[in-house]
Amino acid sequence: MRGNDTVKNDIEQAAKAIRAGDRVALARAITLVESAKPHDQASAQALLERLLQHTGKSVRVGISGVPGAGKSTLIDQLGLNLVAQGHKVAVLAVDPTSSRTGGSILGDKTRMGRLAAEPSAFIRPSPAGDSLGGVTKSTRETIALAEAAGNDVVLVETVGVGQSETAVANMVDIFVVVAIPGAGDELQGIKRGLLELADIIAVNKADGDQVERANRAAMEYRTALHILAAGHPNWDPQVLTLSARDNQGLDALWAKIEERHQAFKASGALAVRRADQAAAWMREIFEQRLLADFKGGRRAARHFQDLEDKVRRGEMTPAAAAQELGRLAGTKEAD
């Protein structure tokens, strides 16, 4: 077992390298963060604590949308535009369905081939996921590492599985939903629950013979949102059209994102949002630990599912089941 000083030194070196913009050091740190091994986790946490004061200095943008909406093309082109303007861009992904042996890992770098070749861009595929919670944790920490490494824009792509959008919305400043053209009966509905997360709806593929359909879709979303957000001081979702393929409208998208971000910062709302996100995450980690410790007990784990099934079938009240779980956990009971 290596001495504490040696470990501390390693962390100091890693922190230094990351801050200096060493991409290999950054990639290594992210791998550490994604590792489930307790020893790796301890090193990862030490590194994150060392870098904490250097995090936070980016515009964090979540990008979601159905498969086929063209998210990858959009991120590729947007990333190129930003790099050309002098930004350092990190691109991450939350995809609990990804696996280590293919899928996202090769996919991302070929889907965003041009951006992947840029020195000022750092692309990291989604960690392999066995649970959304695990992927979410890794991604949050990767955002911090990417910021410490000097990236001033962090784009987090989500593939729209389960609660992925909500998870990503809870770790970014601005949330963009990418939609496809179509109107009336062909209008792509916005996934229930996604609507209230969106700051911007970007109707992509406004090119070729689709321009008209894209405009109509944008108009319908705009009408709907205007109606629903009427009179709300804090809800002002914007709708625009663009073509990632033709690099049309992406400057307007970024201008809107920056404008919002500036406004959030100026009003203090950004600081509050990020503080809320961090506090909620702390509580989440802790509650998960309490629950995991409990479920870790063999007897308890067996019974948890049994009890839940009884409750679902209406054979036991939820309170009685929870009480039984408490008894198994050895917690103090109310009476």
Contact predicate 122/90, CB 8 Å: yes
3-state SS, residue 150: coil
Residues contacting 177, CB < 8 A, separation 6+ = 64, 65, 190, 194, 197, 198, 200, 201, 202
Specify the residue, 5 or 332, whose C-beta has the smaller distance to a second copy.
332
Q: Shortest distance, CB of residue 257 to a second copy, whole angstroms?
A: 20
Contact predicate 91/122, CB 8 Å: yes
3-state SS, residue 93: strand
Residues contacting 173, CB < 8 A, separation 6+ = 59, 60, 61, 261, 264, 270, 273, 274
Specify the residue, 24 or 230, whose C-beta has the smaller distance to a second copy.
230
**63: β partners:** 157, 176
Q: Shortest distance, CB of residue 42 to a second copy, whole angstroms?
A: 5
Q: Shortest distance, CB of residue 248 to a second copy, whole angstroms?
A: 24
Specify the residue, 76 or 141, whose C-beta has the smaller distance to a second copy.
141
Contact predicate 213/180, CB 8 Å: no
Specify the residue, 232 or 299, whose C-beta has the smaller distance to a second copy.
232
Q: Shortest distance, CB of residue 247 to a second copy, whole angstroms?
A: 28
Specify the residue, 228 or 301, whose C-beta has the smaller distance to a second copy.
228
Specify the residue, 265 or 286, whose C-beta has the smaller distance to a second copy.
286
Q: Shortest distance, CB of residue 285 to a second copy, whole angstroms?
A: 4
Taking residue 187's Cβ as centre, other Cβ atoms within 10 Å add up to: 17
Query: Side chain identity at 186, as an amino acid letter?
Result: E
Q: What is the C-alpha separation between 272 and 279, in angstroms, rounded?
A: 10
Of 260, 217, 207, 259, nearest in space to 239 by CA: 217
Q: Shortest distance, CB of residue 269 to a second copy, whole angstroms?
A: 14
**130 DSSP assignment:** S
Of 219, 149, 151, nearest in space to 179 by CA: 219
Q: Shortest distance, CB of residue 307 to a second copy, whole angstroms?
A: 7
Q: Shortest distance, CB of residue 335 to a second copy, whole angstroms?
A: 3
Specify the residue, 86 or 231, whose C-beta has the smaller distance to a second copy.
231
Specify the residue, 131 or 223, whose C-beta has the smaller distance to a second copy.
223
